[in-house]
Amino acid sequence: MKISIGNDHAGPDYKKAIVEMLEAKGHEVTNYGTDSVESVDYPDFGRPVATDVAEGKADFGIVICGSGNGISMTANKQSKVRAALCWMKEIAVLARQHNDANIISIPARFTSIPQAVEMVDAFLNTDFEGGRHQTRVDKISC
């Protein structure tokens, strides 16, 4: 799979651990995130991830900021993007099964690194159920 990842200053350590896991599993990763804890603006790192997903350059995206909210809001401005804020594995699974989410947003200040890695792995390995959920997903776009 091709996966794009972006993060602000709250997520360099999270990104590093997630990228290591993804590459160990043979995924191709495009990194738009900062490697610094110096304050940066999350839209600068979330927007390119969303663009990759919307344009089909990436199968999935991962975005990380302190609360996960701002970077998720940024990603969701792109047509064809369904970014889901996830703080536990079960939410990540449901975001894929029921919402066909194509970007996972991780709140670095409210999850641990092992928890984030587990969420990403579950997110990428869960299929959309379709069926009754498809009608709802079709109504998401403006």
Annotated active-site residue 9? The verdict is no
For each of the chain's 142 residues, which pLDDT tens digit applies? 999 999 999 999 999 999 999 999 999 999 999 999 999 999 999 999 999 999 999 999 999 999 999 999 999 999 999 999 999 999 999 999 999 999 999 999 999 999 999 999 999 999 999 999 999 999 988 7
Annotated active-site residue 65? The verdict is yes
Is 2 within 8 Å of 59 (Cβ atoms)? yes
DSSP character string of 101-112? --EEEEETTTS-
> Exactly one of 27, 65, 86, 142 is catalytic; which is it?
65
pLDDT of residue 141: 81
Alpha helices in the chain (DSSP H): 12-24, 43-54, 69-75, 89-99, 113-124, 132-138
Helices 113-124/89-99 angle, 10° precision = 20
> Exactly one of 27, 98, 133, 142 is catalytic; which is it?
98
pLDDT of residue 12: 98
Q: Look at the block and give the residue holding tokens 């690194």.
A: 113
